[in-house]
Amino acid sequence: MADPIPVPVPILRLPRGPDSSGARGFSRDCRHRDHSRDNSRDRDNSRDNSQDRASSSALQAARAALRERFLRLLGSARGKPARFSLWNGLRVLAEFGAADVGSGAFQVDSLRTPLGIQGAALLRCGDVLEFSFPL
C-alpha cells in the first residue's frame, strides 16, 4: 500500500521583537505576578523598575536614532552603484534601487554576476553580508 500524501502544514510567523535576541515580540520582563508578596518587596522592585524604565527609554531613543540614520543612508544610496558581499563569498555589483526592510530584500538594477548581467533583481537581506556604495 502506498504512503498517504503528506498534508501541508501552515506556518505562522510572528514579528521579531525589538531586542536583538529575537524574542518575537514577547517581553522577558512581563511575568505573572504573585499577589501574595509583601509590600516591602514591592517597594524595592518599584525602585528597580523606575531605573529599568529610564535605561529602557534611553535605549529606545538610541535605537530610534540609529534606525533613522539607516533609513537616511538607504535613501541616499538610491540610484548609486553598490557592491554587495554575500555569505557564500561572492561579490556582486549593482545599481541600488530600494530596500524593503519588512520583507527583507534589496531591489537592485543591472546586477553583475559571474554568469552575466541581470536587468533587475531582488537580493534577500539574509544572503547579504554587507553592502557599500560611494558617498
Tell how strand 128-132 and strand 81-86 pair up: antiparallel
CA distance 112 to 96: 12
* pLDDT at position 85: 93
CB atoms within 10 A of CB 77: 21
Take residue 119 and report the three cell numbers written for it: 536587468
- pLDDT-derived band at 7 (thresholds 50, 70, 90) equals low
- Determine contact, residues 66/76, Cβ cutoff 8 Å: no
The three-state secondary structure class of 86 is strand
Of 12-16, 74-78, 97-101, the range with the lowest mean pLDDT is 12-16
- Determine contact, residues 131/82, Cβ cutoff 8 Å: yes
Of 32-46, 67-81, 92-106, 118-132, the range with the lowest mean pLDDT is 32-46
* pLDDT at position 101: 73
Share of the chain above pLDDT 90, in %: 33
User: What are the pLDDT digits (tens) for 83-130?
Assistant: 999 999 999 999 999 988 777 899 999 999 999 999 999 999 889 999
CA distance 84 to 93: 6
User: H helices of the chain, where?
Assistant: 39-77
CA distance 106 to 122: 5
Phi, psi values for residue 93, rounded to 5°: -110, 145
- pLDDT-derived band at 10 (thresholds 50, 70, 90) equals low
**pTM exceeds 0.85, yes or no:** no
- pLDDT-derived band at 32 (thresholds 50, 70, 90) equals very low
Let me know how long the chain is. 135
